[in-house]
């Protein structure tokens, strides 16, 4: 059985990622990464990977890797027409993002990485998300919820933003912010999955 000391460090302050990782039933601690994320520009998929790896490496270097454990980092971005939307700076930016996404399909890219004594392992998950046509009233209602703050693309699929989404093709948890099946596989490779007796 797993010991009482968590051997997984989540390099993220995101409550959504904490909640998702908690679904695996493995003990973990949280250490918010101080990594300076790469901004827009260049290949979105590579930037997401660089950010995820950078977060995990920064925490591993600063606080160390738990004995027999890993530091887990993740990054998620919304990509439309080859460009990363990022997090809106204010309500008007969020509105512009929602209007750009309305009635169209965009891609959400999530990369999860584990850094341990044995090296690094990463997995990228790409999900196509199709937004419903969004009228002025619906956009105004959603903006008023304030949920867009701190959310890539200006919406949260796991909250009020669910009404904005028509369909998705891929892993729902990756859109929320942590591809859970991929995370479980990475932890299993490190001998840290909940179904692996220690």
Q: Of these residues, 36, 43, 50, 75, which one is catalytic?
A: 75
75 is a catalytic site residue: yes
As a residue count, the chain comes to 198
158 CB-contact burial (10 Å; exposed 0-12 / middle 13-18 / buried 19+): middle
> Which tokens go with 46?
């590579």
CA gap 121, 106 in Å, rounded? 27
Strands 8-10 and 70-80: parallel
Nearest to 56 by CA among 120, 125, 115, 14: 115
- Cβ-contact 69, 118 below 8 angstroms: no
Residue among 22, 24, 2, 3 at smallest CA distance from 14: 22
Sheet strands (E) in 81-118: 83-84, 105-116
Catalytic residues: 75
């Amino acid at each position: 059985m797993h010991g009482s000391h968590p051997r997984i460090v989540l390099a993220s302050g995101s409550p959504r990622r904490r909640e998702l990782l908690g679904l695996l039933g493995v003990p973990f601690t949280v250490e918010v990464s101080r990594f300076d994320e790469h901004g827009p520009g260049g290949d979105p998929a590579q930037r997401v990977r660089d950010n995820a790896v950078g977060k995990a490496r920064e925490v591993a270097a600063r606080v160390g890797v738990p004995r027999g454990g890993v530091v887990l980092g993740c990054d998620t971005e919304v990509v439309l027409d080859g460009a990363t939307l990022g997090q809106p700076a204010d309500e008007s930016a969020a509105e512009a993002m929602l209007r750009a996404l309305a009635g169209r399909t965009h891609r959400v890219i999530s990369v999860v990485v584990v850094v341990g004594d044995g090296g690094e392992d990463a997995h990228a998950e790409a999900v196509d998300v199709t937004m419903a046509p969004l009228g002025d009233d619906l956009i105004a209602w959603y903006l008023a919820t304030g949920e867009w703050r701190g959310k890539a693309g200006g919406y949260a699929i796991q909250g009020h933003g669910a009404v904005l989404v028509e369909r998705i093709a891929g892993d729902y948890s990756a859109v929320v912010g942590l591809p859970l099946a991929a995370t479980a596989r990475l932890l299993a490779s490190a001998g840290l999955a909940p179904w692996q007796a220690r």
